[in-house]
């Protein structure tokens, strides 16, 4: 493989910078050969190699002659010497098989069908040029006036691409499982709590606070996809393909279906399993508040990804920001008890948990009557506002 000069080079870490791209590719092929596989797949093993290195790399095809080994390789534009090393040839065009058979018989096949290979031309170049249909359409994109796509087109394309790449649906089961578990905590409470304690304001408030804070915290799972999207965005923006506005619109609209699904399905499980206020209007309000909270967390993590491109530090930064917001959202400490500099002004008013808690509490408590465990005492109630 021509790697004698790199014999003492350590692979991995910073020291691997001493190897070129072609040498790294040859090393990866050697690692696979060491296991003596019966079947070996090589995806473009000659990319980044010159003609001489490509020939030596493809000499591993000779392994097929010993021990009954089979090697399948995909190669773009091989040299004539490399092409002669292969026994069988498969040519594809537009996803369809054009030729599959002995490599030596391909020349006759093309000649019989009216495409003979000129005597001084590389056979592989002739075959690929003949079957290639990518450039047959008239009027290429470069000839069209106004080749820059409109903002609407950019947004639609980015939305579709981001929608395909979104994987929030993969952690939908995790959110559902969590809802089942913490929902059962409140459902199983009657065995250890009195009716008055079960229906207390504290129990319901704790449950709703969990929804507004810790459940929406799971939306941080979208951060890895944001980091990868930001890398692609930086390159494509420099090339002038689209701007910041189209990127934000595309990522926002692609997230909406997933976040709605996560808000409605696990939200319904938690809402009705615990036994909150009946009525479709109460549940719709509950799901909408949960959806908006998750959208805010997604937006927050997108901002963090644009500032902190490192995966680990980004997760830590996003979690820290949300933790500060939870602490000052009005549940753990009353607003009047918070130190005014920074914690109350402005953090208490910046934290979205403040507004989520208010919405959840008003939706749940207004109109409810709670039993009084003190004999003769009137039951406390919260009348609906006019």
Share of the chain above pLDDT 70, in %: 73
pLDDT of residue 64: 56
Q: How confident is the model at residue 189 (pLDDT cuts 50, 70, 90)?
A: very low
The answer on pLDDT for 384 being more than 50 is no
pLDDT of residue 192: 46
The answer on pLDDT for 1 being more than 70 is no
CB 183 within 8 A of CB 274: yes
Write the pLDDT tens digit of every residue in 355-373.
Answer: 998 899 888 888 777 666 5
Chain mean pLDDT for the chain: 76
- Could you give the domains of the chain? 4-131 (3.40.50.300), 151-365 (no CATH)
Query: Nearest 5°: phi and psi at 99?
Result: -150, 140
Write the pLDDT tens digit of every residue in 108-137.
Answer: 998 888 889 888 888 888 888 888 876 555
Q: Cα angle vertex 207, ends 202, 213, to 5°? A: 115
Provide mean pLDDT across the span 189-207: 59
pLDDT of residue 128: 85
- 345-346 vs 70-74, strand pairing mode: unpaired
The answer on pLDDT for 184 being more than 60 is no
Q: How confident is the model at residue 285 (pLDDT cuts 50, 70, 90)?
A: very high
Give bridge partners of residue 91 from the DSSP assignment. Answer: 99
**In angstroms, rounded to a whole number, what is the distance separating the alpha carbons of residues 225 and 254?**
12
pLDDT of residue 166: 66
pLDDT of residue 61: 58
Which is higher by pLDDT, 370 or 341? 341
**In angstroms, rounded to a whole number, what is the distance separating the alpha carbons of residues 74 and 78?**
10
Residues 6+ apart with CB under 8 A from 297: 216, 217, 219, 220, 322
H/E element, 262: helix 244-274
Write the pLDDT tens digit of every residue in 151-170.
Answer: 888 888 888 887 776 654 44
Write the pLDDT tens digit of every residue in 8-60.
Answer: 777 654 444 567 766 777 777 777 777 778 888 888 777 766 776 666 666 66
Strand intervals (E) in the chain: 39-43, 70-74, 88-93, 96-102, 341-342, 345-346
Which is higher by pLDDT, 317 or 375? 317
Write the pLDDT tens digit of every residue in 230-283.
Answer: 888 888 888 788 888 888 888 888 888 888 887 888 788 878 877 788 889 999
Q: How confident is the model at residue 100 (pLDDT cuts 50, 70, 90)?
A: very high
pLDDT of residue 315: 86
At 156, list the tokens: 């639609």
């Amino acid at each position: 493989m021509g790697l004698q000069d790199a014999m003492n080079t350590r692979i991995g870490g910073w020291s691997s910078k001493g190897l070129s791209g072609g040498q790294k590719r040859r090393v990866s092929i050697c690692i696979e050969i060491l296991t003596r596989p019966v079947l070996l797949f090589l995806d473009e093993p000659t990319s980044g190699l010159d003609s001489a290195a490509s020939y030596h790399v493809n000499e591993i095809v000779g392994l097929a002659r010993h021990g009954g080994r089979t090697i399948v390789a995909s190669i773009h534009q091989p040299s004539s010497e490399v092409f002669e090393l292969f026994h069988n040839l498969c040519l594809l065009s537009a996803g369809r098989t054009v030729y599959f058979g002995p490599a030596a018989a391909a020349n006759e096949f093309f000649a019989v069908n009216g495409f003979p290979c000129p005597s001084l031309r590389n056979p592989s170049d002739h075959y690929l040029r003949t079957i290639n249909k990518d450039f047959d359409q008239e009027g290429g994109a470069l000839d069209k006036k106004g080749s820059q796509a409109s903002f609407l087109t950019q947004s639609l394309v980015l939305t579709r691409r981001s929608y395909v790449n979104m994987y929030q649906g993969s952690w939908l089961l995790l959110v559902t499982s969590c809802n089942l578990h913490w929902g059962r905590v409140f459902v199983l409470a009657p065995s250890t709590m009195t009716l008055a304690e079960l229906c207390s304001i504290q129990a319901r408030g704790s449950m709703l606070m969990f929804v507004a804070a810790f459940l929406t915290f799971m939306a941080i799972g979208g951060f890895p996809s944001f980091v990868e999207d930001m890398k692609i965005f930086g390159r494509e923006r420099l090339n002038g393909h689209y701007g910041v506005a189209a990127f934000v619109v595309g990522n926002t609209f692609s997230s909406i279906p997933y976040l709605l699904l996560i808000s409605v399905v696990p939200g319904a499980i938690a809402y009705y399993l615990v036994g909150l206020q009946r009525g479709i209007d109460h549940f719709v309000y509950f799901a909408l508040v949960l959806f908006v909270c998750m959208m805010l967390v997604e937006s927050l993590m997108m901002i963090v990804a644009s500032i902190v491109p490192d995966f680990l530090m980004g997760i830590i930064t996003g979690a820290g920001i949300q933790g500060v917001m939870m602490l000052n959202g009005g549940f753990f400490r009353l607003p009047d008890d918070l130190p005014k500099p920074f914690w109350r002004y402005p953090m208490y008013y910046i934290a979205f948990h403040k507004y989520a808690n208010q919405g959840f509490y008003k939706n749940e408590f207004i109109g409810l009557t709670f039993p009084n465990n003190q004999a003769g005492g009137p039951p406390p109630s919260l009348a609906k506002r006019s």
